[in-house]
Amino acid sequence: MPGLPMEIAKYTINQGQLQHSGKPDHQYKLQINVINSIHQIPRLDSCQLIESWSEQVQIPLRKAKPDDEQQHETKLVTKTNSQVVMFSA
C-alpha cells in the first residue's frame, strides 16, 4: 500500500550455543515469537533455541537380591533442551 513503510522494526538476534551437537539424532530449531500490539504493530516477543537428541538409558528390570547381579534394559530416549536467545532492537 502506498504511503506505509516497508520495514517497521529491525532486530538483532544473538547467536545461540549448541550444547549437544555431538549426540546421535541431534536436531535444533530457532523459535521466534512475534506478537501484535493493540495498534496491530508486530513486535518480537521472545526467541528460543530448542535442541533435541537421543540417548541410551539403562533401566533396572527388577530389584536385585544382595548376591545377584542387577539386570538392565537399554532404551533409546529422546530428550529436549531449550535456551533463551537474547535480542535487541
pLDDT digit string (tens) for 44-78?
A: 999 999 999 998 888 887 776 776 777 788 888 89
With cell 537474547, the residue in question is 86
Q: What is the pLDDT of residues 1-42, one digit of tens each?
A: 677 777 777 889 898 888 888 888 889 999 999 998 888 888
Tell me what pLDDT residue 60 has: 80
Candidates 40, 52, 43, 44; CA nearest to 82 is 52
